[in-house]
Structure 1
Amino acid sequence: MTDLGRPAASPAYRWVIVAAAAAMLAIVMGQLVNGLSVFFIPMEREFGWSRGSIALINTAGLIGIAFGGIVMGAVADRLGIRTVCLVAALAVGSCVTAAAWADQLWQFHLLFFLAGAFGGGAIFAPVIAIVGSWFPVGAGLAIGIASAGQAIGQGGVPFAAAFLIEALGWRGAMLALGLISLATLVPLALLMRDPPASRHPGGVAPADRAPPLPPGFVVLALSAAVLFCCTCMSVPLMHLVPLIQGYCISAPDAGGVLFVMLIAAIAGRVAFGRLADMIGPIPSYMVASLWQTVGVFAFTQISDLSLFYVFAPVYGFGYAGVMTGVLVTARALTPAKGRAMLMGVILAFAWLGHGFGGWQGGAFFDLTGSYTLSFANAAAAGMLNLMIVGTLLVMVRRRMAAAPA
């Protein structure tokens, strides 16, 4: 029995959910968000394709995640999280394995789109929504820990793939990643469960009370914000490795910089999740967004490997808080009913922003022979995100101040 107004103790199994979610996000999102970055130059050499064209493979996967997240979020609301996670495990493993034999651009586009739609789309929004639902109190920290798995994957997958490419060639590396995905994701998916029914007085947890703004407006505002936010975020994720390689630095060393950046991002995601519990989701989101926007262009001003290693973790710690801020803010401002689908809509625009940012990074490099304009565009997109989020914060505070006690 709990005191009135205090949440009932959640089952201990919720931490298994967090750990399984983090591991799945590491494997899936590490491959689909920026895992292709270390394949740019080997594919460019073999096929003669431009970097913009190769970046479109990644964009196809992110578009798949965008639309798949909406559909699979609705499926998760109806059929449960375990079903969609099993679909994701089979989709990612099969598609990445098949990509080892592809030799036409359209084949890569199709395979990565399917991996995104039925893999990344089934994993990201539904899993994050479920993690938050297991934690009526302290969801910011739990979501931060789960999303830290993505940071581990975004650093670990390209780092490991760089060595696999050197040992096995890019096709052998792609095959290895696909088989590893199948072997690990299926058991992890079987661990996932939907949360138990609410045991709060009146059946409503504090985090599930009516949000201060209409859901339709929240979805519209956050969708616009994350579109620009992730346009900014994706440029260093997709192009930092080839940017560094442009200074005659080896692929493993360049991948090592990205790995160090994303190791720091693990701590950043957890820290900003905790910060969201302390100062509120939107202020935490704004702090991280400002950090990312100020820091992104600085990468083009560095040419020494040691300086890349110094700056990358500083940038990584702050930029990582952006995705935690997005996830916790979306959870706080959407109603519990249909949350997985609503978060899927918001995150669809995040992945579209990721795809656009990665593509424009390659396209402007092809036009100018330099990454300067690509990273400048990223910073401009970050400023637009800050303007939208700042406006949303003002509106929420005004609405809450005007609401009855």
Structure 2
Amino acid sequence: MTDRLRGGLVALCIAETTSWGLLYYSLPVAVAPISEDTGWSHTAITAALSVGLLVSAIAGIRVGRILDTQGPRTVMTLGALIGVLSLVLVAWSPNLPMFYLAWLLAGFAQSAVLYPPAFAVITRWYGPQRVVPLTTLTLVAGLASTIFAPIVAYLIDQVGWRTSYLIMAGILAAVTVPLHAFFLNSSWTDNITHSAHGSKAHVRAITRTPRFVILQITMALATFTLFAVTINIIPVLLERGISYSTAALTLGLIGAGQVIGRIGYSRLARSTAAHTRTALIFGLGANGLWLLAYVPGPAALLIAIAVLLGAVRGCHTLLQATAVSDRWGTQNFGTINGVFTAPMTAVGALAPVSGPALASVLGSYSAMAVVMAVILTVAALSSMRS
């Protein structure tokens, strides 16, 4: 594609890794120190991130339209700057409402700098050859928690959480702002952009079809079920008598499973049709959830199942990135994908707290996993129509 800039993919990989590390993973790492210092509950602090992600889901629709019509440089650079401001406000927050306001602002930044806009840019740059660079991006950015969780923890241990967030704001400014400003297109120069009226008609013609809606719902259900269980894998395994250290190790191995899934996705994409690939990945995820719900042990088998679910999650990320373009092409991709991914972002924000809440109502994490397995099984069967 003539619009692809030299060094753009490398720049996006670095920017995505940094943005995910500081605008998403930093808060889970900082929850306990913030709670200890302020007296705010862990739930209240974590919910601030969920609020931001809900804002991101809504704002992402508008960001997608801007990406299609104006190019990525301005909107993604502005998003990075808003992210810097939000982290400064996190550091300054004198009370819980201001803390929430800071993460609400971070939600606007997330909508402009996390995966959906980056996927839109790569899809525009690479067209039919998009799968390999998308895989590269998600493999590199998938290391965000591995890289930044220890850094954030170290900073907080050394200088406290407020000063740490000021330092994080500086890192975000120094890394992501120039990368977006210098390595992204100021505007598109190819012939894909169409008139506003034609673009709106084309978007409506796709987003209002039953096929699109069914796919959107099934993808959101898969996001919800996989996140709700894997994010809470530690209490799931503790309930089976697995030690805390082994359960914590398993959580890390789920990340390794995601890498395996993303590496294997390219081969799967070449050998299967879009709807078959979707149903296969969802089916594997549903089987993993059924096994996790009913297999009592041993620990090695449970860990293997968790890694399988991690691989499914890794495939799911790339499935989300390519679902629209595989079925409807790349015209107005940013706009259509912004609409498509909004429910996934929203349920991804709710899944971490929904798992424990449902387990509490049902009496066990195994029962919660059964419910999630049923939902994902239904999604797998429904995806055959999409």
Q: Could you tell me whether the CA contact under 8 Å between 2:257 and 2:311 is conserved in 1?
A: yes
Quote the offset at 1:342 in angstroms: 1.0
What pairs with 1:172-183 in structure 2 (closer than 5 Å)? 172-183=163-174
| Counterpart residue number, 1:216 | 208
**Inter-partner Cα distance in structure 2 for 1:30 and 1:134:** 25
Report the Cα offset of residue 348 of structure 1: 0.6
Tell me the distance in 1 between the aligned counterparts of 2:278 and 2:128.
Answer: 19
Q: Residue 98 of structure 1 corresponds to which residue in structure 2?
A: 89
* Superposed CA offset, 1:268-292 (max 9, x none): 2242134213323333333332333
TM-score between both structures, scaled by the size of structure 2: 0.79
Query: In the alignment, which residue of structure 1 is the partner of 2:78?
Result: 87
Alpha-carbon shift at residue 29 of structure 1 (Å): 3.1
Shift of 1:97: 3.2
In the alignment, what sits opposite 2:47?
56
1:23 to 8, 14, 18: 14
CA contact (8 A) 2:26 2:148 kept: yes
Aligned to 1:338: 332
Aligned equivalents of 2:348 and 2:89: distance in 1? 24
Alpha-carbon separation, structure 2, partners of 1:256 and 1:13: 40
Contact 2:230 2:309 in 1 (8 A): no
Amino acid at match of 1:91: I
Sequence identity percentage: 19
CA separation of 1:314 and 1:234: change in aligned 2, threshold 3 A: closer
**Conservation of the 8 A alpha-carbon contact between 1:286 and 1:386:** yes
**Which residue number corresponds to residue 295 of structure 1?**
288
Q: 1:232 to 1:32 in 2, by over 3 A?
A: farther
Q: 1:313 to 1:184 in 2, by over 3 A?
A: farther
CA distance in 2, matches of 1:140, 1:220: 23
Q: Is the 8 A contact 1:18 1:146 kept in 2?
A: yes
Instruction: State the Cα deviation string for residues 208-240 of structure 1 (Å, max 9, x = none).
Output: xx99x9442244223212221211232256444
Give the aligned partner of residue 286 of structure 1.
279
| Distance across 2 between alignment mates of 1:240 and 1:287 | 23
Shift of 1:173: 4.2
Residue 169 of structure 1, CA deviation = 4.1
Could you tell me which of 244, 247, 266 is aligned with 2:259? 266
Are positions 1:115 and 2:106 aligned together? yes
When residues 26 and 258 of structure 1 are mapped into structure 2, their CA distance, relative to the original with a 3 A threshold, is farther
Distance in 1, matches of 2:363 and 2:168, equals 31
Cα contact 1:155–1:258 (8 A) shared by 2: no
Partner of 2:355: 361
* Aligned pairs for 1:156-195 within 5 A: 156-190=147-181, 191-193=183-185
Decide whether aligned partners of structure 1 residues 16 and 295 sit closer, same or farther in structure 2, where only a CA change above 3 A counts: farther
Residue aligned with 1:336, SS: coil
Residue matched to 1:5: none
How many angstroms does 1:90 deviate by?
Answer: 1.0
Deviations 1:292-328 (A, max 9, x none): 3333576687899988876654432232101101221
Shift of 1:135: 1.8
Partner Cα distance (1:215, 1:233) in 2: 25
For 1:36 and 1:338, how far apart are their aligned partners in 2? Answer: 34
What's the secondary structure of 2:143's corresponding residue?
A: helix
Q: Decide whether the 8 Å contact of 2:138 with 2:262 is kept in 1.
A: yes
How far 1:137 moved relative to its partner?
A: 2.4
Matching residue's letter, 1:129:
A
- Opposite residue 346 of structure 1, the aligned amino acid is F
Given residue 385 of structure 2, which amino acid in structure 1 is its aligned partner? T
Shift of residue 24, structure 1, vs aligned partner:
2.5
Give the CA deviation at 1:77.
1.8
Query: What is the aligned length?
Result: 370
Q: Where does structure 1 lack aligned partners over 5 or more consecutive residues?
A: 1-9, 200-209, 393-405
RMSD of equivalent CA atoms:
3.7
After superposition, give the CA deviation of every residue in 1:54-109 in whole Å (9 maximum; x if it has no partner).
33222112112201110111112222101111012112222123212335333333
